[in-house]
A and B are shown apart, each in its own frame.
Chain A
Amino acid sequence: MQSSLPWSSSGGVEVHAPSGSQCIYCLGSRALCGKRQCPILLRYSKLQPVVSLRLEERMAMDGASPPGVFVGRIGYPKVSVGPLVPPFFGDTSILDRPESWWSINLDRLVEYRSSLVRGIFRVDVHNPWEAGRLFELTQEMAMASQPADASLEFSKPVKARVILDEDAQPFGPYGPVEKIEAGSIKVNRVIEKAYYDADLKASEAVYYAYSAGIPVSSIQKALSAAVFGVSKRRRLVPTRWSITAVDSILAERLMEKIKEYPEAGEHVVYESQHIDNKFIVIIIPGKWSYEFIEMFHPGSVWNIGGGEDVAIGSDYEDTEGRTTYARIGGCYYAARLAVVEHLNRIRRQGAVLVLREAGPGYLLPAGVWLVRENVRKALAGKPVRFGTLEAAITYAAKRLKTPWRMVLRESRLLRNIRERRRITEYLKE
């Protein structure tokens, strides 16, 4: 779909146009996509200064990695990998720590993402060590507990790319790196311990690090950079897959526990809001089951040209869990982790419905962190309590712009609760 040649190039920022893009005719001035603000101009405005003002000659740079690494998925198993480094020093940790992003606006998010330069080299995921020092330092950065100073030299000038596609995630500039130098890297001791345990399975290492209080985003970086796993089976995991893998591994472990807990005693509704995304979490007394429903209003990401219709999608799992990948992808797993963390904290199980409603202010896909951190934020807040399911959903319905009948029609969890009897009801005299 995407044309192979740049449509326009200016100051190191290439602009690519997928075939049929209406952006070519709009150029940010006519709002043909119906969005309040042009997402492409927003990305361009954040990328252009990084490329043209901060990267002199665009052949070398230095700065403090937050720490961050990137592992691509295009061409798997031969993928692009490398450190993420902004062209400045100091405490840059916020740039790649989603756990701290729950209050930033979209403008700031794009700025964070755009400021991280990817110095990339290509390796086979099964043997990234063939890249020698380039990979060793990249892997060390993935294990770092605080920003690490680094210098990158590129074989070709760094460039940035803006795709004329309102659904593309914001990314920083990138360039093929031929030399990396790093100052002192302070490695996280817990992650280091797992790294040196050649018999520890990757999933065990993930849970071990989580139990030791390591943030999910740091665990995801380590898993991605082949830090975890039985030694001979270690491999790179593309960043996007690694994020969902960690969310899933951790939730599966916690779910084993929560299925043993007593059922929640009341109906509670939690809520949070961020970047025109509203999250509503309803916990219903019962056995563990979970559903994530997302609703994208016209003008928001994933619902361009939807007229006046709300785009709705969902996935669900029953008490036994699921064996297939959720149709709606990483957001399902990100929200599930936040939910099971909460249930594990309160030592209760229940049926949990998570609703996400995105409005037209949600211009760009922010990443699944938005879901995880905002469901976490909602569940850390004060709930509204109800005596009945009807009262809880009446309240929740009023908090949404989406007609509740759409939710009811979509929800397997609510249908099960209303319609499904338990065999235990028939065991009594």
Chain B
Amino acid sequence: MSSPSILARLVINDARVIRKALRATASLIDEAPVKISDEGLSIRALDLAEVSMIDLVLSKEAFETFDFKKPLKANIRLSDVLNLLKFEAKSERLEMSFTEDRVSFKVSNDFTRIFTIPVFFSEDKDLPLPKVSLGNSFETKVSTIKHLLDSGKHISDYVSISVENNAVVLSARGEISEYQVILKAEEGNLINPVLKEGSKASYDLKRLGSIVSSLLFGENMKLEFDTDLPMKITQIIEEVPNSTVTFFIAPRMEKG
């Protein structure tokens, strides 16, 4: 019996980058379309409710080897991979080999372990990105936003963000209580702000919480929004040039 033909073979010296990328994607969906092309490894997908979207790009420079016969898109069940792809050391090397119906993960360090899972290939066209012009942008610490979302989930299902007096106010408001985080440039938690006074929008707190918890590539995140428009969250993948993870989340339009 002949061995299956390898459609793509990727080798990365720090396997944790792949785990973080898949962990970020798993914040929205369990089955991810992983695309291998000249741009590198990318994932663009919607959550099941189509409220949020991920656009992740890991450039070819991330990989020691990045070989593929032709561009492919393989749907991978992330829970299967994340259960098996656990790393303790930084220096673990990961090799991914895509065949016609499987992808194998070979992790090498003190010893070598290999696991293989089924995949199916998709011919679906790439989703377009949201076409929105967002008037507010700033960077802040992931931990600051996470703090608000962790506390706010006990109060409300959604979080509001507004620009007031050159500060960004994030608040979770319930029927009888409210929790706020105020970000100000002078306090150092509002970095490179471009703000449009009076802007205001609301977003699903649970989804936002899940997204922010998955941002593991660095301490900071970039956040863009505008009145009643989607929020865009970007994190640069510091370990790899020209690589980012971006999320979009649709707004809630509060009535009355």
A residues with a Cβ closer than 8 A to B are 259, 287-289, 318-320, 412, 415, 418-429
Contacts and interface: CB of A to CB of B under 8 A. Distances in A.
A65 to B, nearest CB: 43
A420 B127 CA distance: 21
A320 B128 contact: no
14 contacts: A319-B47, A319-B48, A320-B48, A412-B157, A420-B250, A421-B252, A421-B253, A423-B51, A423-B248, A423-B250, A425-B250, A426-B130, A427-B127, A429-B131
Contacts of A320: 47-49
A427 B130 contact: yes
Contacts of A420: 51, 204, 250, 252-253
Contacts of A259: 48
A421 B51 CA distance: 7
Nearest to B158: A419
A287 B251 contact: no
Interface in B212-238: 229-230
Nearest to A429: B131
Describe B's contact surface by its main secondary structure: loop
B195 to A, nearest CB: 22
Contact of A419 (B248, B249, B254): B254
A318 B250 contact: no
B140 interface: no
Interface of B: 46-53, 127-132, 157, 202, 204, 206, 229-230, 248-255
A417 to B, nearest CB: 11
Given A418-B255, A419-B255, A429-B131, A424 B47 contact: no
Contacts of B132: 426
A287 B49 contact: yes
A421 B129 CA distance: 16
Contacts of A319: 47-49
Contact of B46 (A289, A418, A421, A423): A423
Nearest to B254: A419
Contact of A423 (B48, B130, B206, B254): B130
Contacts of B248: 423, 426
B69 to A, nearest CB: 30
Nearest to A286: B49
Among B47, B51, B249, B255, the one with the most A-chain Cβ atoms within 10 Å of its Cβ is: B51
Contacts of B202: 419
Nearest to B49: A319
B48 A287 contact: yes
B250 A419 contact: no
Contacts of B253: 419-421
A419 B205 CA distance: 13
B31 to A, nearest CB: 11
A120 B229 CA distance: 63
Contacts of B255: 418-419
Given A419-B255, A421-B251, A422-B250, A427 B49 contact: no
Among B50, B206, B229, B255, the one with the most A-chain Cβ atoms within 10 Å of its Cβ is: B50
A428 B130 CA distance: 7
A427 B50 CA distance: 11
Contacts of B249: 423
A319 B253 CA distance: 19
Contacts of A426: 130-132, 229-230, 248, 250
Nearest to A288: B48
B252 A423 contact: no
Contacts of A287: 48-50
A422 to B, nearest CB: 5
Given A412-B157, A426-B230, A427-B131, A419 B252 contact: yes
Contacts of B157: 412, 415
Contacts of B52: 423
List the 10 shortest-distance A-B pairs measured between CB atoms, nearest first: A319-B49, A426-B130, A319-B48, A421-B250, A423-B250, A419-B252, A422-B50, A287-B49, A424-B50, A423-B53
A428 B128 CA distance: 8
Among A423, A425, A426, the one with the most B-chain Cβ atoms within 10 Å of its Cβ is: A423
Contacts of B51: 420-423
A416 to B, nearest CB: 8
A427 B128 CA distance: 6
A127 B157 CA distance: 45
A287 B49 CA distance: 6
A427 B129 contact: yes
A426 B131 CA distance: 6
A288 B255 CA distance: 23
Contacts of B48: 259, 287-288, 319-320
A211 B53 CA distance: 35
Nearest to B202: A419
